[in-house]
Copies of this chain bind each other. A is one copy, B any other.
Amino acid sequence: MQDEDLAVMMRALGHPVRLSILKIVAKSQQSCCCADVTQCLPLAQSTVSQHIKVLLEAGLIERRSEGTKNCYVVVAPKMQKLESAFGSLTRGLIS
């Protein structure tokens, strides 16, 4: 994986609100929409939507529209790739 792509994902994870959003999305077994996330956080809907966009653009979550809602899921393969890239980074750094 390219350093730039890795950096984009790291940056996406580099904000506590986005970590929270990821956890909320992951935890809710059935479809999790923007309103669901917003309800869990002390932030405006538009702010949450913006954070979601960052996660989307990093490829860490995916949108799928469901009626009038937009639901989000964590992209497991991407997370795994990230973890492995991160692993080889750290291995390279500390060996």
- Residues in chain A within 8 A of chain B (CB atoms): 3-4, 6-8, 10-16, 19-20, 22-23, 26, 74, 76, 79-80, 82-83, 86-87, 89-90, 92-94
Contacts and interface: CB of A to CB of B under 8 A. Distances in A.
A7 B92 CA distance: 22
A26 B93 contact: yes
Contact of A94 (B11, B79, B86, B90): B79
Prevailing SS type, chain A contact patch: helix
A32 to B, nearest CB: 13
Contacts of A80: 90, 94
Contacts of A89: 19
Given A90-B80, A94-B79, A15 B20 contact: no
Nearest to A87: B83
